[in-house]
């Protein structure tokens, strides 16, 4: 079983029951790219539902079809999502995604990894 996957758009791994997901710098995401990313993520998860820390700081753009795909099909096997942002652009992207795509799972943006992990750990089973 692989413990991490990397493709031309992102890399992800599972650590302490949290899926860590990092987009590469300058990534432009359309529907085809979104489907590839989700397919690779699902292969890594092997049917296990997880919390996710998603670092979107490298994203350059995400088109509407990709956002809609992530909000519905892309939410498969995800419990809660913490988006890691670091600039007005990524904060705007995350807010726009949450507001317009209405993801089916709890999704919140954070500017620090520590705050994002604290949020996710609150959703871990006791």
Q: Return the H-helix or E-strand segment holding 106.
A: strand 106-110
pLDDT at 34: 97
Q: Record the tokens describing residue 17, joined without a space.
A: 């029951």
Banded model confidence at residue 2, pLDDT cuts 50, 70, 90: low
Question: For residue 82, what pLDDT is reported?
Answer: 95
Buried b or exposed e, range 10-27, using 16+ CB within 10 angstroms: bebebeeebbbbbbeeeb
* Burial class of residue 52 in the structure, from the number of CB atoms within 10 Å of its CB (0-12 exposed, 13-18 middle, 19+ buried): buried
Three-state DSSP class for residue 13? strand
Residue-wise pLDDT for 76-98, tens only, equals 999 999 999 987 776 777 776 67
Find the mean pLDDT for residues 108-112.
Answer: 91
Q: Say what the pLDDT of residue 40 is.
A: 95
Tens digits of residue pLDDT in 39-62: 999 999 999 999 999 999 998 888
C-beta of residue 13 within 8 angstroms of C-beta of residue 3: yes
pLDDT score of 7: 95
Would you state the pLDDT for residue 1?
52
Phi, psi of 51 (to 5 degrees): -80, 150
Question: Which of 82, 100, 81 has its CA nearest to residue 92?
Answer: 100
Q: Which domains does the chain have, with CATH numbers?
A: 4-121 (3.30.750.24)
Mean pLDDT score, 110-120 = 95
Q: In this predicted structure, what is the pLDDT of residue 101?
A: 65
Say what the pLDDT of residue 124 is.
87
């Amino acid at each position: 079983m692989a413990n991490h996957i990397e493709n031309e758009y992102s890399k992800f791994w599972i650590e302490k029951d949290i899926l860590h997901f990092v987009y590469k710098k300058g990534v432009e995401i359309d529907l085809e790219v979104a489907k590839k990313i989700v397919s690779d993520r699902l292969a890594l998860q092997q049917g296990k539902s997880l919390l996710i820390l998603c670092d979107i700081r490298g994203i350059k753009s995400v088109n509407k079809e990709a956002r809609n795909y992530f909000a519905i099909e892309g939410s498969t096997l995800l419990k809660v999502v913490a988006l890691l942002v670091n600039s007005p652009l990524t904060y705007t992207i995350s807010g726009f995604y949450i507001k317009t795509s209405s993801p089916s799972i709890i999704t919140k943006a954070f500017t620090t990894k520590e705050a994002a992990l604290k949020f996710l750990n609150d959703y871990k089973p006791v």
